[in-house]
Amino acid sequence: MRLSLTQLSLTAVVALAVVLSTSTVSTEAFPAPIDRRPSSSSLVSFKSYDQHRVVRVKVQSEEQIKILNENEGPLKFDYFTHNKNVGGHIDIRIAPENFSRFQSLNLNYETLIENLQTVLENEHNENLAYQNKWEASKNNRVSIDGVDLKEGTAFVSAADWFAGYHSYADHQTWLNTQIKTYSSIASSFSAGQTYQGRSQAGIKIGNGPNNVVFHGTQHAREWISTMVVEYLITQLLTGSDSRVADYLNKYTFYAIPIMNPDGFVITQTSDRMHRKNAQSNGGCLGTDTNRNWDSHWDEGGSSSNPCADDYMGPSAFSSPEAKNMGAFLKSMPNVVSYIDFHSYSQLWMVPYGYTGTPPSNYDSYLQPLASGAVNALADVNGVQFTAGDIYNTIYPASGNSADYAYDAGVGAPFAVELRDTGDYGFSLPANQIIPSGKETWAAFTYILDNLQTN
């Protein structure tokens, strides 16, 4: 499937925040919008979530977990979060036709979002306003940050780029422009081709003997993860942090902003809530690639129902996206850390997800690293994350990336759930991109300062 730039531009991206009111963006950076878009801002071409509710269920007993599991398929639960432990809570999207049956389950719940469609319309409208200015400003960009640019190039200052969310096409242009601009320290690479033939494109930065791999948007709807990965890339390239020069001698970074581009494009063109990749499975679209890694695959915390949002796929590594990343990690010597960025829930997690018994160096190495990272993160904006192993911190999840990486010999693998804790969920306002980037950079550098290296 080929998508034109026009299609992407019309539907792309979103920002709940009024981006121009943030202190980091001046209105002068964007000329008046030019009239190249339709006036309609409705989501007519998108799947509708009218009257879909998002509820938070407080899990109070094993019996309630059983009820949730039994009804996941019949009531088409879409788990927005995954903490299905007694004493925890889990956020679930429920379609209107199933809501009365959900109520009859007599679970303890509160409603987070009355009508998901309203949230998505607001997000879309705010984003269109940003996109209009963004598109118009492209024509006026000739030289920014001292770099001479041709008309139409999507290279802009970091403050402008991180003021809003972007189309897939603009992300590609952004990445290529970084690689070109910083060619003395950066080059391109790809983990492989997706199911629909897109590249899992990345940027390699630095010359050190220790490899660090990280990526965003394994789950398509978790847009903040791409922006945060790009923020970390920007920090490594521009080196405003005085430690960066040392990092580039000690480490080589391999960063992929969009690990699941097929799914990401779906969220920008037809279904904002799409989580999986684009493989067709029994009439339902997509495999949950983060339940598809060849590590204790199908050992709990994943679904065999192709329509479920945590569908594990027909076999381990049946999804090219997970298989490519796994092969990439395995082929590379001396990977001292791997980070798979997700949202939302504010968690910094380490293996395992398939078992409640953590790895042998959990107490001596993995847990202290994760705890140090969340403390460093909290120091920036006061935002609290929780550190722990996947199984006990959220939920059993077999076939996940961090488990695979650990068993493949990666020193310190992490699965991170970024902001927030449910107020906006996947529709995190654009004015939280830079704060999220800054605090994640603090956590990231704590890890870089404390990794066991060669």
Contact footprint for Zn ion (CB under 5 A): 219, 342
Q: Min. distance of Cβ 340 from Zn ion in angstroms? A: 8
| Cα 283 to Cα 188: distance, rounded to the nearest angstrom | 36
Residues in the chain, total? 454
CB 81 within 8 A of CB 347: no
| Cα 357 to Cα 351: distance, rounded to the nearest angstrom | 9
Compute the radius of gyration of the chain from its Cα atoms. Answer: 21
Q: Please, is 268 exposed, middle or buried when counting C-beta atoms within 10 Å of its C-beta (0-12, 13-18, 19+)?
A: buried
| Cα 337 to Cα 409: distance, rounded to the nearest angstrom | 10
CB 413 within 8 A of CB 401: yes
Amino acid making up residue 381: N
Closest CB to Zn ion among residues 89, 219: 219
- Whether the bond between 298 and the residue before it is cis, its omega within 30 degrees of 0, is no
Q: Min. distance of Cβ 293 from Zn ion in angstroms? A: 13
The candidate with the shortest Cα–Cα distance to 311, out of 76, 66, 89, is 76
Q: Min. distance of Cβ 122 from Zn ion in angstroms? A: 23
Closest CB to Zn ion among residues 156, 325: 325
417 catalytic per annotation: yes
3-class SS at 25?
coil
Closest CB to Zn ion among residues 248, 374: 374
Closest CB to Zn ion among residues 135, 288: 288
Q: Min. distance of Cβ 219 from Zn ion in angstroms? A: 3
Q: Min. distance of Cβ 349 from Zn ion in angstroms? A: 11
User: What is the strand order of the sheet 89-94 is part of?
Assistant: 78-79, 89-94, 53-58, 109-113
Closest CB to Zn ion among residues 124, 219: 219
Supply the residues annotated as catalytic: 417
